[in-house]
Each structure stands twice: as C-alpha cells, then as structure tokens.
Amino acid sequence: MTQMEMAKRGIISEEMKKTAKEEGIEAEIVRKRIAEGKAVIPANKLRKLQKPIIVGEGFSVKVNANIGTSKGFSSLEEEKEKARVAIEYGADALMVLSTWGDLKAIRKAIIEISPIPVGSVPIYDSAVKSYEIGKNVVDFSEKDFLEMVIDHAKDGIDFMTIHVGVTQRVLEFIRKSKRTLKIVSRGGSIIAGWMLKNKKENPFYKYFDELLGIAKEYDITLSLGDGMRPGAIVDASDSQQFEELFVLGELVEKARKKDVQVMIEGPGHLPLNEIEMNVKLMKKAGKGAPIFLLGPLPTDRAMGYDHIASAVGGALAGYLGADFLCYVTPSEHISLPTIEDVREGVIASKIAATIADVARGNVNAWKLEREMAIARKEFNWEKMFRLSIAGKIAKEKHSKRPYDGDGCSMCGPFCAIKIAEECL
C-alpha cells in the first residue's frame, strides 16, 4: 500500500509515526493530511528511509538540495561529498540531477548513502542516452519515457519531477508568448522539443494513468514539474505559466483518486510582490497539494549571490504557504555548483525555511529561538553554535577573533548583554 492508501484506510505507518515525532505533532494529524492529499511522505517502498520527511500544510518548511554531474564535471566522489555536505548542513531531501557520466551508478550510489529522500528527473536520461547511442531525443518513443520512470523507481528514487503539464495546448501559449526566455526548464525544453518535432501529445500526459500505476506500485511521490516556469522577472506570472498550472491542478485530483502522493512545482523567478499571489494560486489550483518552489528568485541581478536572493524569496514564500523550497547556490546561472556552493546554498535555504517556520508559529522553531535567546544571555557559546543553522562556521569565526571575557571581540569590555545583566 502507498502512504496515501494507508492513510485513507486509517492506518498510521512507521513513516507517519517518525515524521509526527520529528514535527512534534500527533501522528493522527499526519495521517489525516496525507489522506486528504495536503501532505506527502516521499518514501519509495523498496527502501527503508532512515529519515523520512513530511512535506505539506501545517508542517515545517523543508529544503531540497540539487546535486548531479554535468559535461566535464562528472565525478562520483564529488557528488557523494556534495550529498554528505548537504545532509550535514540540514537538507531535508536531495535531487540527483546528473546529465553526464554513468547516471544510474551515480543515482544508486547517492540513494545508498542518503538517509533522507532522494528525487530525480527521469527525462534527463533521454538527453544523455541520446548522446550515448547516437540517437536524437526526438527519436525516443512514448514508451521509452515511461521505461525511464520505471528504471528510476526500481533504483529506489522517492520522488520524481515529471513535466506532465506541458501539453499541446500549453505549447500554443508559447507560440503566442512575448516571453524573453521562452523555456528555462531543462525537462520542459526536452519534452516540448519532442512534442513539436513528433507532433504528438506529451507522453506523460497521454499515459498519465500508466504513470500513476508505476508511482503507485513503488509509492513514488510525483512532483508535477513546472516546465513553463518563468526564467526571468520580466516573464513572471504570464498565461504560459498559469495555463500549465491549471493542467497540473486537474492531474492532482486524478493522482489522489489512485492513492498516489503528489505535489506541485512552481517558479522560479518572481518579483517579491507577486509571490503571495503565486503561492495562493498554486494552493488553490492544486487543491491544497504541497507546493515545491524553486527559489523563488525576486531579482535576476544577483549573479554570484543568487542563494541570498532566493533566501529572501523563499522566506516570504514559506511564510505564505510554500511547503518545500528547492535551494539555489551561488553558482546558479553561472556554472555547475562546487561542494562549497552546495554548502552555501543549503545554509541560505535553511535560513529561509527557518524564518518561515518562525513566522508561521511553528512550535519547534519557537522552542529553538527561545533556547537561543537564553544561550546568548548566558554566554553559552557551545550551545549557541549547536542551535545555529551553520554553527560550525560560526564557531570558526568566533575562534579566529577571540575575547577573553564573557562577551565577544565585537564589543569587548563594553558588551551590552553583560552590562545590562550587571545593572538590571
């Protein structure tokens, strides 16, 4: 049975119990939200996740870190280290988005070492396979795409992005569109290219029932991908984006009927003042399904610091109802991220998720904030580092410019906290 099937039958699974404990919430609430489709636990039946997570309404905001190879940079060891670093700094899920090298071997190696859910985008395999066997992506058959999904499911992937909303009707909007950047999603561009060249409907859309059958068999959480997401602030919130969203919303109902867990992906590049409207519309169109946002980035002009821009967008989006934030690294739009970039990206996104949790009144988040305030008052530096999102880095900084009194080298003997404690 899938998590959703169990939840609908009133069964509380091990994963539901574990995630409820982690969130400090009753397991019955977890079960109820999963039964309603308002939350998901991405956990492939083939593997026992050490750290399952719950994503959705009423739970803490989660962070996903993308890793994976690209042409010229396809070292398995480096990807394993990226996964390790992402997990160390608090990523709640990983997506393996390799586009070069032995994709299956990399995918399986990451699944093996990851205690947290691992996601993928099966259609990327088509691009790589086309290189390997000298085929063009457009030569792939409709069934080839479904075979890729089965392959990833058998490897133990917990959630998959499927660009199912790129329909022929949506493509009509691209033709008429005045967008500067027509398509910026890799998966979206591959499937759109295949559809245009073959003059056929999107196979994921056409064979959605078969896709649901595969997802149900392995309990894969489907992340309905936003192949038409805007890739520039000037292109945000247009008909191309929303037409696809409404298709995804209809598919949510179909998935729920088959007991398949589903979430909806969203932009991308959004001006800060459009984040609220987008989050609310996604929740409405998706009938309350969890939403997974890429960033969002409220400016296109932060190259080299896109992780900071996305933390600003992510904090607001999370506060307004986004459930799952996909991190952005300092290398976004520039190059394949390094291990250091992965660390910076995860920290930035965790900060955004934490800010959102506090603003949403999350009980655990407030407990940690209270503990931090007391640790500061008591000059308990070890505790402060332990409570910090990037405590290791904070500790390094603290030791580089030490102070021999109670405060720190910022104010030295004129430490406001110390003076206040002595006087009041």
Footprint of ligand SF4 on this chain (CB under 6 A)? 407-408, 410-411, 415-417
Inter-axis angle of helices 124-132 and 186-198, to 10 degrees?
Answer: 70
Q: 109 or 411: whose CB is closer to ligand SF4?
A: 411
Q: Give CA separation, 162 vs 108, 166, 188, 248, in Å.
A: 19, 10, 9, 10
CB of 370 to ligand SF4, least distance (A): 18
CB of 383 to ligand SF4, least distance (A): 14
Q: 213 or 412: whose CB is closer to ligand SF4?
A: 412
CA distance 83 to 94: 7
Q: 250 or 378: whose CB is closer to ligand SF4?
A: 378
- 292-15-46-118 Cα dihedral, nearest 10 degrees: 30
Judge if the upstream peptide bond of residue 296 is cis by omega within 30 degrees of 0.
yes
Q: 26 or 421: whose CB is closer to ligand SF4?
A: 421
- 98-196-230-250 Cα dihedral, nearest 10 degrees: -90
The token duo for 316 is 């607001």
Q: Give CA separation, 169 vs 67, 125, 202, 384, 385, in Å.
A: 32, 25, 10, 54, 53
Q: 9 or 377: whose CB is closer to ligand SF4?
A: 377
Give the residue at shortest CB distance from ligand SF4.
Answer: 407
Q: Give CA separation, 105 vs 78, 79, 98, 187, in Å.
A: 14, 11, 11, 21
- Is residue 195 within 8 A of residue 168, CB to CB? The reply is yes
Q: 138 or 372: whose CB is closer to ligand SF4?
A: 372
Inter-axis angle of helices 76-88 and 339-359, to 10 degrees?
Answer: 30
CB of 156 to ligand SF4, least distance (A): 47
Q: Which is it for strands 291-294 and 221-224: parallel, antiparallel or unpaired?
A: unpaired
CB of 350 to ligand SF4, least distance (A): 23
Q: 78 or 369: whose CB is closer to ligand SF4?
A: 369
The token duo for 3 is 């998590």
CB of 377 to ligand SF4, least distance (A): 10
Q: 181 or 416: whose CB is closer to ligand SF4?
A: 416
Enclosing H/E stretch for 3: helix 3-8
CB of 406 to ligand SF4, least distance (A): 8
Q: Give CA separation, 359 vs 23, 30, 90, 271, 366, in Å.
A: 16, 21, 19, 20, 9
H helix intervals, 138-271: 142-155, 168-176, 186-198, 203-206, 208-218, 239-257
CB of 397 to ligand SF4, least distance (A): 12
CA distance 221 to 261: 5
CA distance 225 to 235: 18
Q: 28 or 421: whose CB is closer to ligand SF4?
A: 421
CB of 396 to ligand SF4, least distance (A): 16
- Is residue 111 within 8 A of residue 369, CB to CB? The reply is no
CB of 128 to ligand SF4, least distance (A): 51
CA distance 96 to 87: 13
- Is residue 196 within 8 A of residue 225, CB to CB? The reply is no
CB of 256 to ligand SF4, least distance (A): 51
CB of 417 to ligand SF4, least distance (A): 5
Q: 393 or 411: whose CB is closer to ligand SF4?
A: 411
Q: 65 or 387: whose CB is closer to ligand SF4?
A: 387
